Amino acid sequence: MFTPLETAIIQSEPFRRLAGIHKNGAAYLWDSRICRSTAEHTLNLLGIVKTLAPRDIRLHCAALLHDIGHIVFSHAAEQLFAVEGYKSTHLKFTEEIVESRPISAILRGAGIDPGEIVDIILAKPPNLIANRWPDPNADRIEYFFADRPQPHGVEFDFGPILRELRIGPDTQIAPMSSGMARLLAQQSLDMFVNQYGTPAQAVLQHSIYVLLRLAHEAGVISDEDLMTTDSLVLSKIAHSELADRMRFLGAPFSARHASKSDSNFHFGSIKLRVLDPLLVSGERYSDTDAEFREKIRALEISTKDVYVIIEAGEDFLEFINTFGHGHAIG
C-alpha cells in the first residue's frame, strides 16, 4: 500500500521512465531472466526501507528517488558523460531531477525540502540507503539478492533477511548474527564472481556503451534521448544508418580470463563490489573467516589489469575489434 506522497512520486513522468530502464544494462538481450527494470528495483527497495524504518518519510522518498537519474542501460552508458565531483554520473542527474519540477513540487507539497532528499541519496551523512563500501545498505541488499536470474514472475522474499538485521543510531544496517553477516558477505561474493564481475559481463556492458557512443557521436541519438528508455534508443539506432552495427546484439558469445599474450580484449580494471559487514564485536566479517578473506584478496588482484579472450560469433568479434577504441587487442 502506497501513501499519497509515494503515489504522486510513482505516477510522475521521471519515475515512470524507470520502467523502461533495465537495472543490469544490456544483460537482458543475452539472458531474458536478467530483465528487471530500475522501477522494479526501486519499489523493492522502498518495501525494504519501510520495513526497517517505517516512520522515516524522508528515507522512503529517498528510496523512491535514489536511481531517478539513471540514463538508458543504467551504469553501462555512464561513460558517455564526465561529471566531476560525483562518484557516479546518475547521482548528478538525480540531484537535478529531484530539485526540479515535478519532483520538487511533489516534495515541497508534503513539507519536505528536496535538498534533504538529495543529501540522503548522496550519503551526507551515511545512512540506511547510501554509505561506503564494503558496508551493507538497503540498496545493496536488494540487488545482491534480487538480481539473480529468476524465472519470470518469481520474486525474492526479503522477510527472513530483514528480521535478522538491526538499524543503528546512525541509521545504518548491521547483521544481528555472524550467520547473517556470512550470508550477506557470501551472497555478494557469489554475485560478483558469477554475474557482475565476470569477463563476459564486462565485455557485454562495454559493447552496448560503444554502440551508444557511436550513435551519440553520429547524431542518431541526443542527450535528451539518453534520458528516455532502452527500447526507444535501440529503435532509433535500428532505423538509422547504424542499423548494421546492431548485429552483435544477442549473438552468442563467451569470454574468459586469459594471459596478455593469449587475450584479444583488455580492461584496466573491474570494480570489486563485495560486502564485508561489521559484526557486533566491531570486527569485519573477513576478520573471522580466513577463506573469505583470501578470496577477497585474490579478487583484488584478478580484477586489476584484466585480460580476456572473447569466444564469439563473427558479428560480435567484428564489432568489438572495429569499435573497441583502445580495449580490443589485435
Query: pLDDT for 93-115, tens place per residue?
Result: 999 999 999 999 999 999 999 99
Whether the pLDDT of residue 276 is over 80: the answer is yes
211 within some domain: yes
**pLDDT tens digits, residue range 138-159?**
999 999 999 988 776 678 899 9
Same domain flag for 190 and 246 = no
Distance CA 189, CA 272 (A): 9
Tally the domains of the chain.
2
Coil vs helix vs strand at 267: strand
Q: Which of 136, 202, 130, 188 is nearest to 164 (CA)?
A: 136
Are 44 and 80 in the same domain?
yes
Residues 185 and 89 in one domain: yes
Same domain, 244 and 156: no
Given a cut of 70, whether residue 198 has pLDDT beyond it is: yes
User: Do the domain assignments include residue 89?
Assistant: yes
- Per the DSSP assignment, residues forming a β-bridge with 265 are 308, 328
Q: Report yes or no on 166 lying in a domain.
A: yes
Q: Contact, 226 vs 80, CB < 8 A? A: yes
Tell which residue, 63, 68, 38, has the closest CA to residue 50: 63
CA angle 56, 22, 264 (to 5 degrees): 130
Whether 143 is covered by a domain: the verdict is yes
Domain with 314, as residue range(s), is: 199-323
Phi-psi region of 113 (alpha: psi -120 to 50; beta: other; left: phi over 0): beta
Residues 34 and 170 in one domain: yes
Q: CA nearest 37: which of 74, 80, 88, 79?
A: 74
Average pLDDT score, the chain: 91
- pLDDT confidence of residue 185: 98
Q: Say whether pLDDT at 4 is over 60.
A: yes
42 shares its domain with 105: yes
The CATH code of the domain that includes 116 is 1.10.3210.10
Give 19-57 as a DSSP string: GGSBTTGGGGGT-TTS--BHHHHHHHHHHHHHHHSTT-H
Neighbours of 48 (CB within 10 A): 23
CA distance 18 to 22: 8
Q: Is residue 144 packed enough to be buried (19+ CB in 10 Å), middle (13-18) or exposed (0-12)?
A: buried
185 shares a domain with 43: yes
The answer on pLDDT for 58 being more than 80 is yes
Question: Are both 225 and 137 inside the same structural domain?
Answer: no
Residue 306 forms beta bridges with which residues?
267
Question: What was the pLDDT predicted at 330?
Answer: 39
Last residue of a domain, one of 196, 212, 241: 196
Q: Distance between CA atoms of 43 and 64, rounded to whole angstroms?
A: 7
Separation CA 171–CA 61 (nearest Å): 15
Contact 273, 192 (CB under 8 A): yes
Q: Which of 146, 167, 196 is the last residue of a domain?
A: 196
Same-domain pairing of 59 and 28: yes
Q: What is the mean pLDDT of residues 213-232?
A: 95
Is residue 328 a part of any domain in this protein? no
Cell numbers representing residue 59 in the block: 528515507
Q: Mean pLDDT over residues 166-190, rounded?
A: 92
Distance CA 20, CA 231 (A): 7
329 in any annotated domain? no
Report the pLDDT averaged over residues 312-321: 80
Of the three residues 148, 180, 196, the one that is the final residue of a domain is: 196
Q: In percent, how much of the chain has pLDDT > 70?
A: 95
Q: Does residue 251 sit in the same domain as residue 155?
A: no
158/14 same-domain check: yes
User: DSSP string spanning 289-321?
Assistant: -HHHHHHHHHHHHHTEEEEEEEEE-HHHHHHHH
Judge whether 330 lies within some domain: no
Whether residues 188 and 209 share a domain: the answer is: no
The answer as to whether 297 is a domain residue is yes
